[in-house]
Amino acid sequence: MKSRSLNRNARKNFLTYGLVIAAYAVLQTITVTGSISSSLKGMLVPICAYVVMAVSLNLTVGVLGELSLGHAGFMSVGAFTGVTAAMALQNAVPYPALRLLIGMVVGSIFAAIAGVLIGIPVLRLKGDYLAIVTLAFGEIIKSIVNNLYVGVDEHGLQLSLLTNKLALAEGGKIIINGPMGITTIEKLSTFTAGFLLVMLTLFIVFNLVNSRSGRAIMAIRDNRIAAESVGVNVVKYRLMAFVTSAALAGAAGTLFAMNYSTIIANKFDFNTSILVLVFVVLGGLGNMLGSIIAAAALTVLPEMLRSLQDYRMLIYAIILILVMIVTNNPLLRGYIDRLFGNLRRKKAPVQAQEGGDGHA
């Protein structure tokens, strides 16, 4: 039974990689041949960033089983530190791709540090209390970045909080300008960079989930006390999942920010955290492929509804509610399963103990 389920996992992971590669190949082909619409082309990088956000949040919510309402906070940390690094190195590092890479690494390191700082206290809490603290964390980050001024000149980086007290030398430039955020970002992000980040994220997450550590994390999710009693170091494994998730979100933040010429702190607010959470829940907890599809579909959806004009967001809300009801109502689910489910009748029904309901 165990080996079969492992096989199935491996098959599913390969399917996920395969689909991502196929999607990349198709989109890249139509981009190169020029038949892609500007609208879709403009969404490729944000889709990649949201996919990474969704997969990394799924690690916290689906695999670790804790509700986080502040994932955008890590994205923010990653975006602002990563872009700052890339911009500060503009003269020192001549290769744009390398600058982007450095930005992402720096972004994920800082997000990971934030993850540790917030994770140590937060992970002592449970359920909605943990959720509210992550929400609080996201708001604190937003509040601080809105009051942060960072500039660079030949002496290096300068920081100032609350008001702009930077005394930059001749030729220096301001990078983060309080509420105006960063306004002169070089657009370094490319679809290929986004694709590579998605692949790396999947690689990290799948390997973590399928490792000894991953099984420990899921054991903690399913029954913390039982896991503890067999000697699993709860704090260590929970922190491991949480920090990995934060670091990936940081890299996604840098990718996202460097796709636009401007970024402000208010972009990464509670609503963005919720948006990513919607991707995760819609795609299925613990289901990475689901997260990818949901993130892509829901990023594209509002754009497709543009022809509805004023009613766009209203219809979006209705679709969201209907999808949640249809996919979660037992009656309707049973009906859909009958429609599609003939081939799966033989499968064990409670396999993986309803992996999705970690936070029930």
Partner 1 sequence: MKHTARKMLTFVMALTLLVSLCSVFALADDGAFKVGGTGPLTGGAAIYGNAAMNGAQIAVDEINAEGGIQFELKYEDDSHDAEKAVNAYNALKDWGMQISLGSVTSAPANATSAENFADHIFALTPSASAPTVIDGKDNVFQMCFLDYPTQGGASAQYISSMGLAEKVGIIWKNDEDYSTGLRNSFVDKAAELDLEIVAESTFAAGNDTDFTVQLTEMQNAGADLVFLPMYYQPASLILSQAAAMGYEPKWFGVDGMDGILTMEGFDPALAEGVMLLTPFNADSDDPATVAFVEKYQQLYDEIPNQFAADAYDCIYAYKQALEAAEATPDMTAEELNDLMIEQFTTMTFDGLTGTGMTWDETGAVSKGAHGCVIENGAYVGLD
Partner 2 sequence: MTFLNYVLSGISLGSIYAIIALGYTMVYGIAKMLNFAHGDVIMVGAYICFFAVARYSLPPLVGVLAAMAVCTVLGILVERLAYKPLRTAPSLAVLITAIGVSYFLQNGAQLLWTPNPKVFASVVGTGRLALFGGQLTVSYVTITTIVSCIVIMIALTWFTGNTKMGKAMRACSEDKAAAQLMGINVNSTISVTFAIGSALAAVAGVLLCSAYPTLVPTTGSMPGIKAFTAAVFGGIGSIPGAFLGGLLLGVIEIFAKAYISTQLSDAVVFAVLIVVLLVKPAGLLGKQVREKV
Q: Which residues bind partner 2 (CB under 8 A)?
A: 61, 67, 121-122, 124-126, 128-129, 132-133, 135-137, 139-140, 142-144, 146-147, 162, 224-226, 229, 270, 274, 277-278, 281-282, 285, 310-311, 313-314, 316-318, 320-321, 324-325, 327-332, 356-357, 359-360
Binding partner selected for residue 67 from partner 1, partner 2, none, CB under the kind-specific 5 to 8 Å limit? partner 2
CA distances from 272 to 50, 70, 186, 275 (A): 10, 9, 23, 5
Binding partner selected for residue 325 from partner 2, partner 1, none, CB under the kind-specific 5 to 8 Å limit? partner 2
Residues 66-105 that bind partner 1 (CB under 8 A): none
Residue 198 is which amino acid? V
Please give the structure tokens belonging to residue 187: 């657009």
Only one residue has tokens 């079969």, namely: 4
Residues 287-316 that bind partner 1 (CB under 8 A): 287, 289-290, 293-294, 296-297, 300-307, 309-310, 312-313
Among the residue ranges 87-95, 111-119, 130-138, 284-292, the one whose residues contact partner 1 (CB under 8 A): 284-292
**Greatest Cα-to-Cα distance within the chain, rounded to the nearest angstrom:** 73
Cβ atoms < 10 Å from Cβ of 79: 35
Give 233 or 328: the residue with its C-beta nearer to partner 2.
Answer: 328
Q: How many residues bind partner 1 (CB under 8 A)?
A: 64
Smallest distance from partner 2 to CB 317, Å: 4
Give 182 or 281: the residue with its C-beta nearer to partner 2.
Answer: 281
Please give the structure tokens belonging to residue 84: 């700052």
Binding partner selected for residue 293 from partner 1, partner 2, none, CB under the kind-specific 5 to 8 Å limit? partner 1
C-beta of residue 66 within 8 angstroms of C-beta of residue 130? yes
Binding partner selected for residue 18 from partner 1, partner 2, none, CB under the kind-specific 5 to 8 Å limit? none
Interacting residues with partner 1 (CB under 8 A): 37-39, 41-43, 46, 139, 143, 146-147, 164, 178-181, 183-184, 187, 256, 260-267, 282-284, 287, 289-290, 293-294, 296-297, 300-307, 309-310, 312-313, 319, 323, 326-327, 333, 336-337, 340-341, 344, 347, 351, 354, 356
